[in-house]
Structure 1
Amino acid sequence: MKNYGKWYVINGVKQYVHIISENSANPLLVYLHGGPGDAALPLMERFNSDLAKKYTLIIWEQRGAGKSYYPFEANEEITIATFISDLKVLVLKLLSEWEKEKVCLMGHSWGSIIGMEFIKRYPKLIEYYIGVGQVICSQEMFTASRTYILEHSSDPKIRQRIASIDTSFRQEKWYNDLMYFMNQLIKTEGSLYGKKSYASFYPYFVRSKNYSLRDCLHRIKGSKQSIERLWQEVALVDFTQYTSFEVPIILIEGEQDYHVSEKTAFAFYQQLNSPKNYIRMKKAAHFPQWTRAADFNQIVNELEIPLTNAGNYLEV
C-alpha cells in the first residue's frame, strides 16, 4: 500500500495532501475535513485507511489548517468561495496526475458545505458525493442544537445563557458565545456519541507518525483563525431550496447527531429529486466515520452506483 504526503501550491498557498492507495486504478476519493480548520489526517489514517481497498484516498489539509497552517493576513480574502476555488485547483491537479476524468467527494460537517457548493458548480468533475454530518441549513442546525442542550441540561444558568445566544453570531462577543454553545453541546453528548469531550481523539494526533507536535499546535491555531474568519458566513448557509443535483448524493448520518441536525439532513434527502441514498447509523452522532469506523468503511466501500431518484434508505 502506498501511504505518503505531498505538497501542492494551490492559488498561491502551499497545502498538504496525504494519499493512501492500494491500486492506482481505483477511483479517487477526496476527503474534506470539518471545522472550519479542523484538520483530521491522523484520525482518517487511523480509522479510515480501509477505504483504500476501493479508492485512492486523498486527505486534504485545507489552507490555514493542520499541516497547511499559516497565519491568515488581515486583508486576505478567506471565504467559503476561497475553499471552493482551492478544491477546484486540487481536483484538476489530481485528475491530471492520476489520469482520471472524475473524483468522488466526501465532505464532513464544514467540509460538507464546501462539498455541496462544489457539486452545484462543478458537477462534471464529480462521480458522486458523500455527505457525513451534512450541513443543510445552519439556522435549523443551531435551533436543533439549542433545543437538545436545553433538554439535557439541568443547570438554570446554563439554560438561560444558551437560550439567549444570538445564532447569527454577529454580536460583539460572538466567538465566546459560540465556544460556550459548542462546549455545552459536547458536554451533553450531542456531538460525540457516548462522550462528554473530544479527549479520546487527542492521542491519535500526538502519536501519529505524520503529525508532529508543531502540527498539533498549528491545528489548534488553524481552527481558531478559520472559525474567526468564516463562522459568520457559515451561519448563513442554507441548501434547503435545492431539490435537484447533477451528481448522485449519498448521506451517511449519525442518528444521535445534534451537532448538525440529522433530522434536517433526512428532510433534505426526502425532498431530493436526484439519484440518492441515505444511511442512518445507530449509536453514532456527528462522527460516525471514527466512532463506528468498520461499519462506515464497509458502507462506503460497498456503495452500489448508479443510484436511483427513488433513493435507498438504510439503518445500520
Structure 2
Amino acid sequence: MKSSLGKKTYVIMAVLVIAIIAAYFIFIRSRLKPTIGTVPIEFTIEIISILALFISFLIMIVTIIITIGVVLFNRKKSRIKPWILKIRKQFIVTAALIFVLCIVTVSSQHMTYTPPIVDGNGNTVSGSIAELKKIKLCGSDEWITIRGKNINKPILLFLAGGPGGSQLSETRDQLKALEDKFVIVNWDQAGAGKSYNAVRINLLTPKRYIEDAHELTKYLCKRFNKKKIYVCGESWGSALGIMLVKQYPELFYAFVGTGQMVSFVDTELYCYNTAIQIAKEKGDNNMVQKLKSQSKPPYYSKVTSKSASYLMYLSNCMSKDPNISNPGYHTLRDIAAPEYGLHDKLNFILGTVNTFDHVYPKLYGIDFRKQIKKIDVPVYFLEGRHDVNTPTQLTQEYYQMIKAPSKKLIWFEHSGHDPWMNEPKKFCNTIVNVLLKSN
C-alpha cells in the first residue's frame, strides 16, 4: 500500500513539473522576452541545478568516507549494509541531478536570444531587426547579434576587447541609442563567448582574426546590400580594427577606435610600471613585491594570471576614481544575459582566461607606429582621459603620425578605459556626429 502511494506521489510530482514547464514555454516565456524577464527565472534554475548537484556530490563523498570508516572499524554486516544502501540512494540522486543539469544545459543553449527592439508600449518596432545568429566564417561556426530599428540604416560592426572577450550584452545595453541610426553588429570572435570552440585555440592568430572579420564584413555587405560598413573597435578590438581597415579599406566608410591599442609590449610595460607606482603611493608594499617578483612583461607563460595582477589592480583604481563616471563592470549581469546558454556562460569565463593566455603573446610584435602609418579611410579615436589600461600618450603619438583622409582625436573627460560604458550618451552622440553628420 505504501509502495503504491509512493509511486502515485512521484507520478503526480512528475506531471506537475511537466505542466509547469509547458505553461512556462507556452504562456509565459514569449511575454517575458521583450523585457528580458526570462533572465532571473532561467538563471536561477541554472544556479539551483548546479548547486544541487554540487551538494549532492559532497553528500555522496561524505557518505562514502563514513562507510569506509564503518567497514574498517566495525565489520558487522548489520552496520555496514545501511551505509551501502545510503551510498546507492545518493548515487541515484546524484545521477538524476546530473541528468537534470544536462537537460537544463542543452535547453538553455537552444533558448538563447537577443531581446526584440520595442517601443514605449513594449511592442516590437516595425521594420526593426534583433537577431542572434550563427554564421560560417572561414569554415567555422561563429556567433553575432544584429540589432537596429531600421534594417536600411548603415551597418556598424563592433569589435570587442580581449582577445577572448564577449560583449553581446554590454553593447546591447550601453550602445542602445545607436540602434536608432545604425544596424549594430556585435561579433563573438573565435575563442570568445558563444564562439569559444569555433577554432582550435592554437590556430588563433592575428591573421585568423583579420580573415574572419573580413568574411563577416563581406557577409554583412551582401546580406544588407551595402557597398561598405563602419567599424568600431575597443581595446584589442581597436587593434584588430586598424589591421582590418588597413588591409581592406574598400569595405569600410570609417574606423572608430576606443581604448586604442598601439603597441602591445609598450602598453604592458606601461601598465606594469604604473601599477607599481600607484601601489608605492598607496603604501601597498605587498602589491609592489608581488609585481617585482613576477618580473616585467612581456610574458610567454601564465600570461593571464601575470597580466591580471596589474591590469585588475589598475581597473580597481579606475573604478574608485571620482573623475570617471559609471566605473566598474557588470560581469554577473552580462553572463546572465539571454544571449548565453549555460555552456556559453562557462565559455564566457574560459575565453577571458584561456584565449587571452594563448593569443596575447602573438600580439607583442604589433606596433602601429612602425607598421601602419597610413590608412585609406577616416580614423577617429574616442579616448578616456583617465585611462590607465592603455597609455593615452601612445594614442596621441600615433594620432600625430597617422595619415588618413580625415582624422579626429576626441577626449572623454569623465572616462577611463571604456568611454562607451563610462559616458555612453556622449559616446553614442559622438559616433553619430563623426560618422554620419560629418560625412
- Asked whether the two chains share a fold, i.e. TM above 0.5, the reply is yes
- Quick one: which amino acid aligns to residue 180 of structure 2? K
User: Structure 1: how far apart are the matches of 2:198 and 2:376?
Assistant: 37
Q: Which residue of the other structure, out of 218, 226, 243, is the alignment partner of 1:92?
A: 218
Tell me by how many angstroms 1:285 deviates.
Answer: 0.6
| Structure 2 counterpart of 1:255 | 385
Return 84-93 or 270-279, whichever deviates more: 270-279
User: Structure 1: how far apart are the matches of 2:245 and 2:258?
Assistant: 15
Higher strand share: 1
Corresponding residue SS for 1:189: helix
Are the structure 2 counterparts of residues 57 and 224 from structure 1 closer, same or farther at C-alpha, using a change threshold of 3 Å?
same
User: Structure 2: how far apart are the matches of 1:194 and 1:201?
Assistant: 16
Matched, 1:121 2:247: yes
- The unaligned stretches of length 5 or more in structure 2 are 1-127
- Quick one: which amino acid aligns to residue 62 of structure 1? Q
TM-score normalised to structure 2 length: 0.65
Matched, 1:228 2:354: no
Matched, 1:239 2:368: yes
Tell me by how many angstroms 1:108 deviates.
Answer: 0.6
Say whether the 8 Å CA contact 1:252–1:279 is kept in structure 2: yes
Tell me by how many angstroms 1:82 deviates.
Answer: 0.6
Matched, 1:218 2:344: no
| Structure 2 counterpart of 1:293 | 424
Could you report, residue by residue, the CA deviation over 1:63-88 in whole angstroms, capped at 9, with x for unpaired residues?
Answer: 121111217536x4210111100011
Q: Summarize the alignment of residues 1-316 of structure 1 with structure 2, pairs less than 5 Å apart.
A: 1-70=128-197, 73=200, 76-153=202-279, 154-163=283-292, 165-170=295-300, 172-189=301-318, 198=328, 200-241=329-370, 242-274=372-404, 275-303=406-434
- Quick one: which amino acid aligns to residue 77 of structure 1? L
| RMSD between aligned residues | 2.5
Say whether the 8 Å CA contact 1:254–1:283 is kept in structure 2: yes
User: Structure 1: how far apart are the matches of 2:438 and 2:272?
Assistant: 35
Are the structure 2 counterparts of residues 206 and 143 from structure 1 closer, same or farther at C-alpha, using a change threshold of 3 Å?
closer
Say whether the 8 Å CA contact 1:138–1:235 is kept in structure 2: yes
Corresponding residue SS for 1:231: helix
Are the structure 2 counterparts of residues 306 and 218 from structure 1 closer, same or farther at C-alpha, using a change threshold of 3 Å?
same
Could you report, residue by residue, the CA deviation over 1:47-72 in whole angstroms, capped at 9, with x for unpaired residues?
Answer: 11211111111111111211112175
Say whether the 8 Å CA contact 1:10–1:86 is kept in structure 2: yes
Say whether the 8 Å CA contact 2:254–2:435 is kept in structure 1: no
TM-score normalised to structure 1 length: 0.89
Could you report, residue by residue, the CA deviation over 1:98-135 in whole angstroms, capped at 9, with x for unpaired residues?
Answer: 10001101111111111111111111111100001010
Say whether the 8 Å CA contact 1:162–1:181 is kept in structure 2: yes
Corresponding residue SS for 2:203: coil
- Quick one: which amino acid aligns to residue 86 of structure 1? D
Return 285-294 or 140-149, whichever deviates more: 140-149
Higher helix share: 2
Question: How much identity, in percent, do the aligned residues show?
Answer: 22
Say whether the 8 Å CA contact 2:246–2:375 is kept in structure 1: yes
Say whether the 8 Å CA contact 1:53–1:301 is kept in structure 2: no
- The unaligned stretches of length 5 or more in structure 1 are 309-316
Higher relative contact order at CA 8 Å, sep ≥6: structure 1 or structure 2? 1
Say whether the 8 Å CA contact 1:106–1:131 is kept in structure 2: yes
Corresponding residue SS for 2:131: strand
User: Structure 2: how far apart are the matches of 1:190 and 1:208?
Assistant: 23
- Quick one: which amino acid aligns to residue 155 of structure 2? L
Name which one, 1 or 2, has greater alpha-carbon Rg.
2
- Quick one: which amino acid aligns to residue 228 of structure 1? D
